[in-house]
Structure 1
Amino acid sequence: MRKVKKNILEMNDGEIFEKAEYEHNKIMANINDPSTDDKPRELIVKIKYVPNRAQKKVDIIPFVSSKLGKIVPIGKTMSITQMILQDTGEKVDVLQEITGEADGQINIMGDITEPEVVLYGMDADRVLAKLNDK
């Protein structure tokens, strides 16, 4: 019988190592998520030893978990403006998303930026139907 010395992380065909790697990947994904806070994350490895003295055995039970950053709400600043419908001359209140690019600006790919216009109010569906008919 061949005898070798192994590390505790190699126990049970590397179960602890695999679980730690899995939790590590979850932590890294959580850190890379822009909607999470900047608090520290934790990788927790806990090993429970349960002896059975009568049979001279010990159960070794690994627990691997992580503490991730919390999801934080990302707000958006909107500009309240009025649009005039060309066909009727009607004034309509709209919310317009404020982006990092000016309306009509050309980006590096040659595309013209047009911020999304978000309408609110009772007549939003009717106004959108008129605007989209153009």
Structure 2
Amino acid sequence: MSDIVQTTLIGLLGTGLLAIVIHYLRDLSTRISSLESTVKTMGTDVAAMGADMAAMGANLASLGTDVTKLGADVKTMGADIKTMGADIASKLGAQGQRIDRVYDILLLHGERLVQVEVAVKGQGSARPA
């Protein structure tokens, strides 16, 4: 081959390769621009989420204060109930013991009623315990 044909072929080949490289560079540039836009949108979304989370944190702090106040109120109520219980116990004295005996008797009769109910259904005997 002559030098002119060789030079022309090399030039055409170089021009073709250069065109391909330019095409891919333009495509890459378009993709980078699209990616940049997506990242900017994500940044805006993340900033909005951060603001929401800050508001949630403030709400949780307020809730924590309310729960602390509620805990103090419950503690006070517990102390009041304890005092009332002690007062009732001191006023009942022997009467409280009688109430306990009546409660025990009611439990015993309740157990017997259950046994009778079971016997009536045919699952046991009607003998008292």
Fold equivalence (TM over 0.5): no
More strand by share: 1
> Which protein, 1 or 2, shows the higher relative CO under an 8 Å CA cutoff with sep ≥ 6?
1
TM-score, scaled to structure 2: 0.23
The structure having more radius of gyration, on CA atoms, is: 2
